[in-house]
Amino acid sequence: MLAAHTVADVRRAEQGLADDTGWDVLMQRAARGLADILDDRLPPGATPVVLVGPGHNGGDALFAAAHLGERGRRVNLCLLDPDRVHGPGLAAALAAGASVVDSPRGHTHLVDAVFGIGARPGLEGPAAEWARWQREEDPWTLAVDVPSGVDVDGGTLPGEHLLADVTVTFGTLKPALLLGPAADAAGDVVLVDIGLGPHLATPAVETFTPDDGPPAGHRMTGDGPEHKYSRGVLGVAAGSEAYAGAAHLVVAGAQAGPAGMIRFAGSAELGRRVVDRAPEVVAGPGRVQAWVVGPGGDDGTAELVRAALTEQVPVLLDATALQSLPDRFDVPALLTPHAGELARMLGVSRDDVDDDPWGHARAAASRWGATVLLKGRRTLVVPPEGPTRANRSGTRWLATAGTGDVLAGLAGAWLAAGLTPLEAGSVAAHLHGAAGVRANPGGPVTASGVAAAVPAVTADFLAGDLHRVRDW
């Protein structure tokens, strides 16, 4: 897992580390890591311009500029305010041959060290002009710690900000590097270890890496003899006359997961069609360990939600079912809206949700006492308490009809197999994204194709070796 911590937690951890080592050591570790990455990423002979702000973020970059100068590279510096600049850093950079210039214009390589975790979101004055220049001339950009101007803790973009191709961050990730829309401004994220680990508290946000395997607790890792019931039975109440395809796709997603059996609850006619295509499915009532209700549903969905909730097993509610929520959940619940559905649940506009997805998903998680999986380019899985999971796997080609139904089935299967809503939702989102990449690297996919790619991706995940999960 990669973790992201809030500014307050980073400050506390830095203080703890600085108590042991002194502040200078922290900045020198950050600066050396930054210089190594710049050395690696800048083309030979390129002269970067560093936009230097008034705080330690600027200080990091100035010491990095000094390292680059000592290694023979020319570096230009643009100071936001010559009266407020990290003095020892500037002295070191100038001594190593860096030059101060008036404007970044004409540079093809930019280092953004205007603001770090001390930033108020939104740039003004000369910093805002730098952001406009960047949009015009589009230099390759490396951001130091975070792109300047973003809302570091909330991941929103309330005003003018810089964009990065690469962000080099120190000690731990920051929420804005994992949460949309700010994460889209950060480019690739590279973490430099400055020794903060032992001082860090519980993260605010986490994300799977390709080396992460499954969490403990699903029924496939038990020691005892396994049979289909011990692996978990998933009940699926999905599809309708108008949306029969949703029933097939939820079942396809569910069959790609770890559950031992799927029961289909729906009209006799739809049940026959589902079993025709998927003879492993049992149509009709019986005990289940979890329910998926709602994809492709009709007027009857409210009743199906009520019936599922009386069984006192975990539920996943999607699509139409999201319009029939109880006041609070008394069973483990995973709600899987897209931005429009979450907006309707909360009585806000879709733009509101798009501008602040994490804030709205957290509001819903706390309102209903449920885990909210907000689908999108960066799917979030937000429990009522504790760290959020941000998903980074996937491809833009997953934005196609039916992939949400496959995801619902897959997450439901992991719920039935014994995972918590947070684990089930985040594992399913991770595998679903990776399957989208695996189904057709670099090109379009169908929802059925994604479901078909999930089992092999799952085998790699169970082995802790799931590579090639991103393809944007």
Ligand X SMILES: NC(=O)C1=CN([C@@H]2O[C@H](COP(=O)(O)OP(=O)(O)OC[C@H]3O[C@@H](n4cnc5c(N)ncnc54)[C@H](O)[C@@H]3O)[C@@H](O)[C@H]2O)[C@@H](O)CC1
Distance of CA 432 to the CA centre of its chain: 13
Total count of residues recorded for the chain? 472
Instruction: Consult the annotation and say whether 56 binds a ligand.
Output: yes
Question: Of 55 and 404, which has the nearer Cβ to ligand X?
Answer: 55
**55 contacts ligand X (rule: CB under 6 A):** yes
Handedness of CA 449, 450, 452, 457 (dihedral sign): positive
**177 contacts ligand X (rule: CB under 6 A):** no
Selected range binding ligand X among 109-117, 375-383, 386-394, 446-454, rule: CB under 6 A: 109-117
The minimum distance between CB 129 and ligand X, in angstroms, equals: 13
**23 contacts ligand X (rule: CB under 6 A):** yes
The minimum distance between CB 194 and ligand X, in angstroms, equals: 6
Distance, in Å, from the CA atom of 4 to the CA atom of 176, rounded to the nearest integer, reads: 9
The minimum distance between CB 110 and ligand X, in angstroms, equals: 16
Q: Helices 268-277 and 244-255, interaxial angle, to 10°?
A: 50
**51 contacts ligand X (rule: CB under 6 A):** no
Report the residue number whose CB is nearest to ligand X.
Answer: 116
3-state SS string over 3-14?
A: EECCHHHHHHHH
The minimum distance between CB 25 and ligand X, in angstroms, equals: 9
The minimum distance between CB 87 and ligand X, in angstroms, equals: 13
Selected range binding ligand X among 56-64, 134-142, 319-327, 457-465, rule: CB under 6 A: 56-64
Selected range binding ligand X among 20-28, 89-97, 307-315, 428-436, rule: CB under 6 A: 20-28
Beta strand extents in 379-425 (DSSP E only): 380-382, 388-390, 394-395
The minimum distance between CB 115 and ligand X, in angstroms, equals: 4
Tokens 């936009």 found at: 51
Instruction: Consult the annotation and say whether 377 binds a ligand.
Output: yes
Distance, in Å, from the CA atom of 23 to the CA atom of 145, rounded to the nearest integer, reads: 17
Among 2, 4, 30, 343, the residue binding ligand X under the rule CB under 6 A is 30
Classify strands 388-390 and 380-382 as parallel, antiparallel or unpaired.
antiparallel
The minimum distance between CB 60 and ligand X, in angstroms, equals: 4
Name the token pair of 68. Answer: 């680059």
Instruction: Consult the annotation and say whether 119 binds a ligand.
Output: yes
Give the count of beta carbons closer than 10 Å to the beta carbon of residue 36: 16
**53 contacts ligand X (rule: CB under 6 A):** yes
Among 133, 170, 208, 329, the residue binding ligand X under the rule CB under 6 A is 170
**145 contacts ligand X (rule: CB under 6 A):** yes
Question: Of 120 and 287, which has the nearer Cβ to ligand X?
Answer: 120
**147 contacts ligand X (rule: CB under 6 A):** no
**469 contacts ligand X (rule: CB under 6 A):** no
- Containing H/E element for 78? strand 76-79
Handedness of CA 342, 345, 351, 352 (dihedral sign): negative
Give the count of beta carbons closer than 10 Å to the beta carbon of residue 199: 19
Instruction: Sort 467 into a burial class: Cβ within 10 Å, 0-12 / 13-18 / 19+.
Output: exposed
- Containing H/E element for 292? strand 290-293
**120 contacts ligand X (rule: CB under 6 A):** yes
Question: Of 115 and 130, which has the nearer Cβ to ligand X?
Answer: 115
Distance, in Å, from the CA atom of 425 to the CA atom of 387, rounded to the nearest integer, reads: 13
CB 406 within 8 Å of CB 396: no
Question: Of 161 and 218, which has the nearer Cβ to ligand X?
Answer: 161
**33 contacts ligand X (rule: CB under 6 A):** no
**26 contacts ligand X (rule: CB under 6 A):** yes
CB 194 within 8 Å of CB 173: no
Selected range binding ligand X among 57-65, 226-234, 376-384, 453-461, rule: CB under 6 A: 57-65
**Under the rule (CB under 6 A), what is the footprint of ligand X?**
14, 23, 26-27, 30, 53-58, 60, 115-120, 122-124, 144-145, 170, 194
